Structure 1
Amino acid sequence: MTSPRPGVLLAIASAALFGASTPFAKLLLGGGVSPWLLAGLLYLGSGLGLTLVHLARGALAVPAAEAPLRRADLPWLALVVLSGGVIGPLLLMVGLTTTAASTSALLLNLEGLATMAIAWMVFRENVDRRLLLGAAAILAGAVILSWQGGPTGLGLGALAIAGACLAWGIDNNLTRKLSAADPVQIALIKGLAAGAVNLGLALALGAHMPPLTTTLAAGLIGLLGYGVSLVMFVLALRHLGAARTGAYFSTAPFIGAGLAIAMFGEPVTMQLVAACALMIVGVALHLMEAHEHPHSHEALAHEHRHVHDAHHQHEHAAGDPPGEPHSHPHRHTPLTHTHAHYPDLHHRHGHGTG
């Protein structure tokens, strides 16, 4: 039997770090830093910080329990960087220049909806009525939280922001294709690529680098709020799939708003209370999921971090690493059984209408 608990905790921790990055980034924007330049510094902080982590693991000879990125992963990784690290931020910056703040905040909640819709409709992740209601409650909470009087008109800027959310929804689902690989490698490559592009474009358009202390602060915020958060998001994808991970990650606006109250002394409003109640209901509905039916595993060969549980009863070759957990290429033989499960790495099968 697989448990969703590790994936749930990872998804919520990922949302907490990302949500917390928003009020801290607001502090830096208050110092006059260009939003586009700040986006580049946040991504670069993520990439450079995780690069140090990656190098430290090698220098300390830490056993590699994670599967490295392989050549077959590179096309997916390139699409992840392009959609989530380049197109998404570019469209967001274009939209923010012509769209009211209230409209922008409201539209940014479309990322969670895009992630879940793509996962359910394109990648055919299983969904039942309880999960739909839970996702709707979480998204409704995020919409209520960001509502500041309603949109003042939807023009090209709003369409650009909606396009950014679609790009990030595609990014989240494509990252699911890479979730068996080392999440630190995935996040550091995405951070370096996205950071270089965004920083280069901001400087080319006339932005100026902030003081060193501000630059270092942005790097630290990026490392935690973008880098470590993405590592946890990738790990959550292994356990939950993109739709459920996206639903839990949609709690980030509430987490950010709660922290803003403590940091800036903002009032506790009825909006915040209502959003909190809806998100609690949504998360509870997801935690109540009980998905169990007879299912068959086809023969499968892949590589990822694992222990020898019911789904990993394979033989080891002479060069395979000892101890558990470990990672090495392995083959699954066909298997039919019944147990509670989620759309993790080994349960991405189709479902009948019954």
Structure 2
Amino acid sequence: MNISILYALAAAALFGASTPLAKLLGLNLSPILLAGLLYMGSGLGLSVARLIRDRGWRPSGLTAAEWPWLIGAIAFGGILGPVALMFGLTSTSGATASLMLNLESVLTAVLAWVVFKENADRRIVLGMLAIVAGGVLLAWPQGAVHAQGWTGPLLVALACACWAIDNNLTRKVSASDALFIAGVKGLCAGLVNCSLALSLGASLPQMTVLGPTLIVGFLGYGISLVLFVLALRGLGSARTGAYFSTAPFLGAAIAILLLGESVTASFWAASLLMGLGVWIHLKESHAHEHEHQALLHRHRHVHDEHHQHDHEFEWDGTEPHSHEHQHTPMRHSHAHFPDIHHRHKH
């Protein structure tokens, strides 16, 4: 199995676990403040991790051409998306919101295919539809559904569109430092949501609640987002989004194990659909002759067939390593995903 698929599924598992963990810890906070503190835990935790890893402050390594993509991703995914969702939830039932959130993976894939020209064949589309159908079934309301206006659902849909844009913009910088990308997005989203919550009258909780909230945010939002960025690097937006949309199912499975919640028929049906979708994706084999254009970038790599370059510094043979390197034009054929080296036309 491709390591990037494991990254995507692990990201989904950590994100899905954040809801039952918050419930287990009894984090009874306003939705906006809870979102802000979870994002803040992500940003602070990843920033500290990066300082420890680098033994001090180091530049981000992003090129001038990459900063607009990251700023756009932060604006849509870290600021506009969460704010739209929180306002949408004030006039939307939880069941409807859960159903609407399945739009994120669909819109991510549509943008990836239509706007960013990412490759997708019939197998990938069918797999994504099965996963999304499982998510819809899992979130389908069990009781009566009360009539409600369109404002709330439209705001939730707007949030999904913002995150779909975020996913595709983040893909453009996914070769860069995942800790920096995820950390700065968490800090921005945390500051915006916490400021909004405090301005609306919320107050910070006691340290006995604040500490666990930040830890859950670091794991369920921070580490999850790092893994998501690594998956984007190797799989592209549509496939990563499809795998990540298994998060509600994984969260429900964790709730059953940790909280002893009852197992419903819809859970097993959703399991089958999501399992089918993941299996279809795992069976994908996309191979054809393709041409690599000249490319200059920086990321961790080993010296495989795509990384046959000289070094302008003394190299001790350690792999993987990271440095700016040049790819020369090359034409060959092999199985591949739309990763950072295979964003070619078909």
Code of the residue aligned with 1:134 in structure 2: it is: G
- Structure 1 counterpart of 2:109: 116
Residues 5-24 of structure 1: pairs in structure 2 closer than 5 A: 5-24=2-21
- Structure 2 counterpart of 1:132: 125
- Structure 2 counterpart of 1:53: 49
Superposition RMSD on alpha carbons, in Å? 1.9
The structure 2 residue matched to 1:168, chosen from 154, 163, 166, is: 163
Question: Aligned-pair distance for 1:326?
Answer: 1.2
Question: Aligned-pair distance for 1:72?
Answer: 2.9
Q: Are the equivalent residues in 2 in contact too, given 1:69–1:185 (CA < 8 A)?
A: no
Question: Aligned-pair distance for 1:325?
Answer: 1.1
Q: Decide whether aligned partners of structure 1 residues 282 and 154 sit closer, same or farther in structure 2, where only a CA change above 3 A counts.
A: farther
The reply on whether 1:145 has 2:126 as its aligned counterpart is no
Indicate the SS of the match to 2:194. helix
Runs of at least 5 residues in structure 2 that lack an aligned partner in the other structure: none
The reply on whether 1:73 has 2:56 as its aligned counterpart is no
Q: Deviations over 1:269-303 (max 9, x none)?
A: 11000000000100000011110111111111111
Q: How many residues are matched?
A: 344
Question: Aligned-pair distance for 1:263?
Answer: 3.0
Code of the residue aligned with 1:346 in structure 2: it is: H
Question: Aligned-pair distance for 1:5?
Answer: 1.3
- Structure 1 counterpart of 2:35: 39
Q: Are the equivalent residues in 2 in contact too, given 1:68–1:185 (CA < 8 A)?
A: no
Comparing 285-294 with 121-130, greater Cα deviation is found at: 121-130
Provide the TM-score with structure 2 as the length reference: 0.95
Q: Are the equivalent residues in 2 in contact too, given 1:176–1:242 (CA < 8 A)?
A: yes
The structure 2 residue matched to 1:200, chosen from 191, 195, 203, is: 195
Q: Are the equivalent residues in 1 in contact too, given 2:24–2:259 (CA < 8 A)?
A: no
Comparing 281-290 with 110-119, greater Cα deviation is found at: 110-119
* Whole-angstrom distance in 1 between the partners of 2:22 and 2:334: 44
Indicate the SS of the match to 2:65. helix
Comparing 145-154 with 105-114, greater Cα deviation is found at: 145-154
Runs of at least 5 residues in structure 1 that lack an aligned partner in the other structure: none
Identity of matched residues, %: 56
Code of the residue aligned with 1:142 in structure 2: it is: G
Q: Decide whether aligned partners of structure 1 residues 277 and 183 sit closer, same or farther in structure 2, where only a CA change above 3 A counts.
A: same
Q: Are the equivalent residues in 1 in contact too, given 2:27–2:213 (CA < 8 A)?
A: no
Q: Are the equivalent residues in 1 in contact too, given 2:60–2:180 (CA < 8 A)?
A: no
Code of the residue aligned with 2:137 in structure 1: it is: I
* Whole-angstrom distance in 1 between the partners of 2:50 and 2:158: 33
Question: Aligned-pair distance for 1:81?
Answer: 1.0
Indicate the SS of the match to 1:304. strand
Code of the residue aligned with 2:198 in structure 1: it is: L
Indicate the SS of the match to 1:40. helix
* Whole-angstrom distance in 1 between the partners of 2:187 and 2:226: 14
* Whole-angstrom distance in 2 between the partners of 1:152 and 1:280: 33
Residues 328-347 of structure 1: pairs in structure 2 closer than 5 A: 328-347=323-342
Q: Decide whether aligned partners of structure 1 residues 79 and 265 sit closer, same or farther in structure 2, where only a CA change above 3 A counts.
A: same
Question: Aligned-pair distance for 1:151?
Answer: 7.1
- Structure 1 counterpart of 2:207: 212
Q: Are the equivalent residues in 2 in contact too, given 1:144–1:271 (CA < 8 A)?
A: yes
* Whole-angstrom distance in 1 between the partners of 2:15 and 2:27: 21
